[in-house]
Amino acid sequence: MKAGSLEIPERVRARAAESGDTGAAWLAGLQDVVLELAGQWGLSIGRTFSRGTEAFVAAVTFSTGRPAVLKIAPPWCDAVSSQLNILKAAHGRGYSELYQYDEYHRALLLERLGPPLGDIGMRDFRKLEIICATLEEAWMPALRNSGFATGADKAARLCDFIEAAWLDLGRPCSERTIERVRRFVELRRGVFDWDQAVLAHGDSHPWNALQSRDDPKRFKFIDPDGLVAEKAYDLGIQMREWVADGRHSRAPRDLLSPGIKRCRKLAHLSGVDAEAIWQWGLIERTSTGLHFAKHGVHESSEMLTVADAWATADGPD
């Protein structure tokens, strides 16, 4: 890499700009950090990955020719510590393998994987099969005092956000949806059990599941949030990710039926209670729809329309 040649995605620059002097200082020193790490670990630096939104992520190659990925998180990114702890514990099982790390520079050197599942053309239920198989490999026993938030904590935080955002945004989804979310939150908080919990990914969507370069039939996760929760939480993320296409009308009944079918499929594949998956799915879908609305993301309307449709049912049965 030549001096002055470091490419930084616009979204990473924009996020750094939001952090004022701290962000400007991080950007100004980033090239020196990359060069230092390249020398320390014997790397040649390749292209920058354009999908980065906060961290700097680039393709790198060891002197032996082995490909890898260099990820450098900015000072305001708290998630890097959780990611490091999960990747160290996983040893490449269900997650991108961690080759090296530098805590001072908040840098991770990771296994380079192939394309994300979300970009691979295949039928939707086949993607669910892959996600469930990858989750089964990635889930680890939950350790007390590990420092990770619990599913009960997550449910409470999501409920607080949902109620505040719903009012701030002028009630963009039905009151019935909010009432059902409140009830589902209390149910999920009430059943949290350390003995049944796992160390969950926390955001296991198809763009965080990447194809193995060694075995195209296998996938591994990247960018874990880290959460001590019931398995149903990670499966609820798959409910959140469903997108209605041209075959579905906007009528609640036509949006409810595919949601129920998807939930039952996830329960069958995982052996996890369908009611729990359904409840987390509605909580996550409502939260994400409101988050999108706050930030002007156009998908917010679709997310909340589906949430309203799903809130007409108490569960998938």
Write down the mean pLDDT value for the chain. 93
Confidence category of residue 161, pLDDT binned at 50, 70, 90: very high
Predicted confidence at residue 248, as pLDDT, reads: 54
Per-domain boundaries in the chain? 10-111, 117-310
Predicted confidence at residue 1, as pLDDT, reads: 46
**Tens of pLDDT, residues 132-151:** 999 999 999 988 877 899 99
Quote the crossing angle between the two packed helices 124-138 and 252-270, to the nearest 10°: 40
Q: What residues form DSSP beta bridges with 57? A: 71
Q: What is the pTM of this model?
A: 0.92
The CATH number of 10-111 is 3.30.200.20
Name the DSSP letter for residue 295: T
The CATH number of 117-310 is 3.90.1200.10
Instruction: Find the angle CA(100)-CA(113)-CA(235) to the nearest 5 degrees.
Output: 100
On the question of a common fold for 10-111 and 117-310, the answer reads no
Burial of 262 (0-12, 13-18, 19+ CB in 10 A): buried
- Among 8-17, 74-83, 172-181, top mean pLDDT goes to 172-181
Instruction: Find the angle CA(69)-CA(27)-CA(111) to the nearest 5 degrees.
Output: 5
- Taking residue 300's Cβ as centre, other Cβ atoms within 10 Å add up to 20
**Tens of pLDDT, residues 195-222:** 999 999 999 999 999 999 999 999 999 9
Helix-strand-coil split of the chain, %, nearest 5: 50, 15, 35
Q: What's the Cα-to-Cα distance from 196 to each of 143, 150, 155, 191, rounded to whole Å?
A: 11, 12, 17, 10
**Between 249 and 151, where is the model more confident?**
151
| Amino acid symbol at 39 | G
d(CA 191, CA 155): 11
